[in-house]
Structures are given as C-alpha cells and as structure tokens.
Amino acid sequence: MKIMHLKKRLFALSLSCINLLLCACGGEDHSSEMGLQIVAPPPDNLLAPIASPFDVATKRGQIISATVQGKVSQAEIDASVDPDEAPLIGDKAKCNVMVIKLIYATIGPVDQAVQASAGLLMPIANGDNCKAPFPLVVSNHGTNVFEGFSQTSPKDGSVLNASAYYASQGYAVVLPDYLGYGASTLDYHPNLHAENSAAVVIDAVRAARAWFSNKKIALNGKLFLAGTSEGGYVTMTTQRVMERDFPNEFKLTAVMAASGPYNTTMTMDMFMAQPDEQDSSKTLHATMFITALQKTYLDIYSDPIQVFNAPWNLTVENLIPGTNSESELFTKCHLPYNLKDYPSRVYPGCDPTTDSIPLLQANFVSDYLQKSNDLLTPASRARAHVEQQNLLKDWTPKAILGVCYGTPDNMATPNALSAQAYFTQRGYQLLRMENVETETTEPIKTWIATQEPKHPDGFGYHGKVEAPACVSWARHQIFDPLAH
C-alpha cells in the first residue's frame, strides 16, 4: 500500500511549484540577482565569497553563501592519517586542499523551503598534480549524534579524511552535512528519509557545480557518489533519484554504498527483535529513526508514551542529534543501560531502578513485529513509513554500483546480501560486491588481519575497520580507473 504524507505542515511551501513558475517565466539568467561574480582564481589565494539572500522563492541548489574557510596543507593531511591506515590511502597527499563552506537552498521532507550546508574541497594545483579539470566525488557521512556536526572547517576530522582519500589525490569533493546539522534551518534530522536524503545531496551537488562554474574552474564531467553507514543509504537513494528524475542533469560515473541499511524494513525488524542490552545500535537507531518519522509525518503517535517507556518518553524526541556523544547517551543515562557496549555506569544521577527499563513499549514492539498494515496503531503506522524508505523496490540502477560490507557487521551484512539478491533478480549487470573480510589483495587484506582483532566483540568494527576498507576499495578499484 502506498502511504502518502498524511499530515503536512501547513506552512510547508513546495519549491517544485516555485521552480515551475520560474521556468514558465522564460528561464532568465538570475546570476546577477544572486550576487555571483565570475572571476578567475588567483594561483594560491583565497577566493572571493559568494552571497545571496535566502527567501521562499530561492531555487533548489542555489548558493546562499560560499566562503573559503582556509587551506589544509599536504603536511597537515599526511599528519592526520593513522600510520596503520596510510596504506589504504596509498600515495601521500599530492597537493594542498582549499575548504569552502557552502550554504544552499534545498527542501525538507514535506517539500518546505529550507537551507543546508556542505563542505566543498578543491585541490590546489601543485605542478603536474591536482590540476583541473577535476572529477567530482560526493562523500556522504554516517550517522552523527551531535546536532552541531559540520564538515566545513579545515580542522574537521571528516574534512581531513576526505582530503586524504580524495581531494589531495586530485578529486573535488562535496561533503553534505544533511538537514538537522551544520547551517540547516530544519530543526531535526530526517534520518533515513529516502526522497529527502537524496534531494539534499542533489542540491549540494548543484551548489558545488555552480561554485566551480562561477569561479571558472573546470570539472571533467566524472561524477562519483560514496558513503558508509547512513551515508551508504544516502548514497544509494541519491543514485536512485538522480537516475529516475534527473538523468540529463547528472551522468553518474560510479557509485559505492557501504554498510548501509538499504532494506529499512528488514533492518527495523532486526532492531525490534533484539533486546536493548545486546547492542547499542538498536537503541540509537530506533530512537533516531522513529522520532524523525514522527516529526515528518506527525501521525505515528499523539504522545511519546505510546511508543517509548517512561522515563525515556520525556526526553527521547529531541535527544538525537543533540549535545551528547554516543557514549554519553548511555553512560549519562539518557538511554537504557547497554551491558555489552558500555559496561560501566559510574556517572552521578543515574537511577538503577530505571536504568534497565527497555526503550520501547512491549506492546509497540509486538504490534510492530506482527507486520499489520491496518494503520490503526502506532506500530502499524510506523511500519508503513519505514517501508516507504526501503530502497530495494521498484528500481534498477544504471551506473556502476559497488556494495561493500564486512561479515562481522551484523547490520551491514544482511543488508548487503539483500541488495545483491534484489539487484540480481532485477537483471542488473553492473553490480560490484565486496566483502572486505575475503579480500585477497593488499592493502585491505593486511588491514583486516591487523585491525579486526582490536574489536573482538564487533563494537567499533562498523566505523573503524569496515568503513576505511570500503572507501579504499572503492577509490582504488572503481573510482581511480574511471576518474580521467
């Protein structure tokens, strides 16, 4: 059953309608109204900022502001790399990298006009290295619990990581922050919302292309998408929407999705069937996903107590993303006790009588697992919206798609195999599957052999072992051969 948005916010304004009106007016060049100046960049100087006022008539992908944040030097990039990880990257940094903060117009999950931010990394030519025209890669980040998270500063870890793997090797890079982070004007993160996740990334690419065009810096037409964890999901949904809705605007060269919950239906069933104390993934992601769906559709529950047990119901709606680190969410008693991942709870203020109370109401969990589609209960309405976000239906990719995972990851593996089965059944011929645990080539083989023993219980494997291996695999085996 196709579930429509049952309750849209009355103030939501459809940018698609606005764009149609603008197109109907003759498609004039509005660059002067945007305040964009086309200038040739000085060899090694900061570029002039771009600025434009934002209002509800701002077109999707239009730059609101673009400011250079600084440079990352080759030495800084190399120093940021863990020596164990250096072989995954390969060459040392070939050039410095300029970091630009983009704020741009996009849409929220009910088509309301909002702004978002993204980091833009530009290689700075160094002799024969890192010369334009550049291939463009969009690197989508995994789930982050900090609402202030952004990828627009030269000191950000994700900026340094993307500089090491991509920008200092000659790729221009777009780092979308997503809604709910950075300079977003939406007050929550629409976690795993398929259509909106794609829209926000697509508009970031439009803004990045506009920046390069207005600075007369050439891109070579090669466009890559990559992401791990939530970023793997975002990457796959972006490929789907680009190929479905904008085939003439975006010609994808290749895509790599790693460790993502592409099959949201299966993933939530797994979370629901798993006790809280076994894995923090359930409590973190169930909290984030269910509350985001409620904030978007407004119809899952009328009161959080219908889904979440007390005392969690009092604070859970605005908990993630928020001001606590992942460990603090548990060790400071904001979420139920997790014996496996966080065995020590020594912080004052924790109440041992409530610490172990499950996050979700038992009747919500049992109703959810009954898989009813009657829409009469919070669980059945939640399930309907979860199924809406499932990427493994009604779609066959066109560009090369690499799906990467590691078998110790008990969320990534079933999702990767589900994707493989689905795309194979659809007759898709360009699928590249990679299980990093069975990789026989270097440097991934040694990386897995040396790093996996550091995470014997699997905690940390997802982000610290699997993700770097997948990024390395994609760049060296898929992207680099096609980049020029």
pLDDT digits 0-9 by tens, 412-431: 999 999 999 999 999 999 99
Are 69 and 49 in contact by the 8 Å Cβ rule? The answer is: no
Contacts of 56 (CB under 8 A, 6+ apart): 13, 18, 113
CB 153: neighbour CB atoms within 10 A?
A: 16
Tokens encoding 58: 């701002």
pLDDT score of 346:
52
Are 299 and 291 in contact by the 8 Å Cβ rule? The answer is: no
The span from the CA of 428 to the CA of 417, in Å, is 14
pLDDT score of 205:
99
pLDDT score of 375:
92
Question: Apex CA 222: angle with CA 217 and CA 223, to 5°?
Answer: 100
pLDDT score of 52:
60
pLDDT score of 42:
38
Sequence spans of domains, the chain: 15-263+395-482, 269-388
DSSP-assigned letter for residue 186: S
Question: C-alpha distances in angstroms, 85 versus 3, 160, 328, 456, 473?
Answer: 45, 13, 27, 19, 13
pLDDT score of 37:
30
Q: Compute φ and ψ for 8, nearest 5 degrees.
A: -95, 145
pLDDT score of 48:
59
Q: Are strands 113-123 and 172-176 parallel, antiparallel or unpaired?
A: antiparallel
Q: Are strands 97-107 and 63-72 parallel, antiparallel or unpaired?
A: antiparallel
User: What is the C-alpha end-to-end distance of the chain, expressed in Å?
Assistant: 44
pLDDT score of 347:
60
Are 347 and 333 in contact by the 8 Å Cβ rule? The answer is: yes
Q: Compute φ and ψ for 72, nearest 5 degrees.
A: -115, 125
Q: Which residues of the chain fall short of a pLDDT of 50?
A: 1-46
322 has which bridge partners?
Answer: 146
DSSP-assigned letter for residue 54: -
Question: Apex CA 141: angle with CA 456 and CA 317, to 5°?
Answer: 90
pLDDT score of 280:
73
Q: Are strands 400-405 and 252-258 parallel, antiparallel or unpaired?
A: parallel
pLDDT score of 4:
40
Whole-model pTM? 0.88
pLDDT score of 356:
75
The span from the CA of 96 to the CA of 78, in Å, is 11
Statement: 15-263+395-482 belongs to CATH 3.40.50.300: no
| Cα dihedral sign, 86-89-95-98 | negative
